[in-house]
Chains A and B, each alone.
Chain A
Amino acid sequence: MPDGALPVLDVRDLKTVFQTRGGEVHAVNDVSFSLKPGELLGVVGESGSGKSVTMMSLLGLLPSPPADVRGGTVNFDGDNLLDVSPEKLRSVRGGKIGFVFQDPMTSLNPVYQVGFQIMEPLRKHMGMNKREAANRAQELLELVGIPDAKRRLDDYPHQFSGGMRQRVMIAIALACDPQVLIADEPTTALDVTIQAQILELMKELRDKLGMAVIWITHDLGVIAGIADRVLVMYGGQVVEHAPVQDLFGDPQHPYTRALLKTIPSIAGERAARLTIIEGQPPIMAGAPTSCPFRDRCDVAMDRCAVQNPPRYDLGDGHDAACFYDARTGGPRDA
């Protein structure tokens, strides 16, 4: 990967809190990461760990109230996206930063034809006329593998299958040749063959346009196949971060280790029962004062109950937020 290149996106200490009737929910706690041009960053983590809220926060997509982005910086293209005007932010979104939402049915507008929805950003951000936009829209649908693309431009979202809607979202996000694509579970509804096709497309765009990608997914197989680096989230925090080979070959955080054990396999013995991570996810009611994984961790120590572990640098671009040193089998010195 392009080592030494300046990051295209740099997120520092991002903090997002929701105000609810039942009190605060600290959904994102001091999340930091950066992304270089042409790089593919995979994001994995437990359901509810704050992956989507992190990305929505940095794009200013969360309604406030209830969301309150309390701190941090998001550097992109010379600006801190948390400070810029709403107009500026709107032009970045869907333009230089493409975004695929986790829930395609609610992010596509049910009353507009699919073609119209793909053409809109092309006309707005790329200054295309109607005919150019229509041609490009058809091309984009073909790129994401929708058969009979031309005719389907006139269809409404409900006439598409779940996976097709997801691919429409991907087409929209890619429409304006973004520098950064943030894709939140973009292939959950896709079968493996079409998924493989989409992943190939991502690599191609990365090589051709230097597009950088943040790919949120629960599918560790996909991560293994395309990510350069991986961010693991748990309880609103980054708990581990490593180059992809190291994450699978030498996982350090107890959550990551447990997660890797839960993957069912397509080959080999079929397990009578699937492995799970016992216990409940954290409630995230206040700013963390202890390790969020404490109740489910099998190597927890006294210290884990009174201090939230920082991200320890383990060298070679690998870090983990844990007081236990898996390499020595003992506690880490602070």
Chain B
Amino acid sequence: MLDEGKKPLVSIKDLKMHFPIFAGLLRRRVGEVKAVDGVSFDVMEGETLGLVGESGCGKSTCGRAVLRLYDITSGSIEIDDREIGATPQTELRDMRPTMQMVFQDPQASLNPRMTVEDIIKEPLDEHTKLSDAEKRDKVGELMDAVGLNRKFAKRYPHAFSGGQRQRIGIARALALNPKFIVCDEPIAALDVSIQAQVVNLLEDLQEQFGLTYLFISHDLSMVRHIATRVAVMYLGKIVELAPREALYAEPLHPYTKALLSAVPEPDPSLARTTERIILQGDVPSPSNPPQGCNFCTRCPSVMDICKRVEPEYREVQPGRFTACHLYNDTNDTAGQTAGHEAQELTNKENST
């Protein structure tokens, strides 16, 4: 079932986005924040790739870099058969309608001096030749679609609640019928019912128009619902990528395991008893990542080699990628799995 026949719409190779750090009186460059440090993945046409990981691990930066909202440090970005990794910003303009972003921070991304109607209409003004009446209709449809009352069209962003503002951003991103949308925490500020409404909407649009999404979220139950495949990031790198079911049923990378075990349980009698793998140690700084495996300072399964050699990111089972020394010996898959289960048992004992 591995997306046979489907081709990648987006293909990212060894993408890096480093931010310089300046310090001292002369503001000299003293280092860099390796926010995204060599990630590679494909997003297939019509699929939703979930991107999850700890706060600050580089998800937003990755999403923005893929859409070339930054001039990237290095790497290749191919969208719709066009390499745009090094394309100058001015030449990207005609591609902008096909690729859109829903921003994490709804307030900061909405112009406070424009009415909601104008905000949603703006991309239509810029990139289409629709008549005013057609545009107004389209805006109304979009507002319906994201569950905003049409009566609010003339209001300004400050008159909306946090969740309502988030939906304005979604409506605008949808205005030009894009092919590829990077959704950066698009539902985090919404109540569960409206989250569900937005996710259902994204799914409907995907079905109707064959949209492709990169869906950034820290809500693992929502990602489980919407994503076809899931990529897990840690400290600027992808540590695991797998089809949804496989990832949730049997996470391979120790970080993924910890992450899944920390999901809060919406049942108070269970919530206070469920077993969690609580990670020890601080998150290392992306300007000074540890030697060897990035996760070695906190990994419950850390081995000697992990502190010296960086594990290679590769396919360890069909369709499943991970970067971890526990899975080095992939030829012997059966023995591997048994060994890893034993490993897991000892982990459980240690963590209780």
Contact = CB atoms under 8 A, between A and B. Distances in A.
B307 to A, nearest CB: 18
B264 A276 contact: no
Contacts of B21: 151
A47 B164 contact: yes
Contacts of B228: none
A164 B163 contact: no
Given A262-B192, A274-B195, 7 more contacts: A47-B190, A103-B162, A188-B188, A190-B218, A248-B267, A266-B248, A275-B196
Interface string A140-170: 0000010110010010000111111011000
Contact of B192 (A151, A190, A263, A273): A263
A103 B224 contact: no
Contacts of A44: 191
B18 interface: no
B271 A270 contact: no
Contacts of B192: 218, 220, 259, 262-264
Interface stretch (A91-99, A171-179, A192-200): A192-200
A194 B55 CA distance: 7
B262 A283 contact: no
Interface of A: 18, 20-22, 25, 44-48, 52, 66, 102-106, 145, 147-148, 151, 154, 159-164, 166-167, 185, 188-196, 218-225, 244-245, 248-249, 258-260, 262-266, 270-271, 273-277, 280-281, 283
Interface in B147-198: 147, 149, 151, 154-155, 159-164, 185, 188-197
Contacts of A48: 160-161, 163-164
B299 interface: no
Contacts of A277: 193
A191 B193 contact: no
Contacts of B264: 192, 195-196, 219, 221-222, 224-225
B200 A162 contact: no
Contacts of A159: 19, 33
Contacts of A190: 55, 218
B259 A192 contact: yes
B325 interface: no
Given A105-B105, A222-B264, A266-B248, A148 B151 contact: no
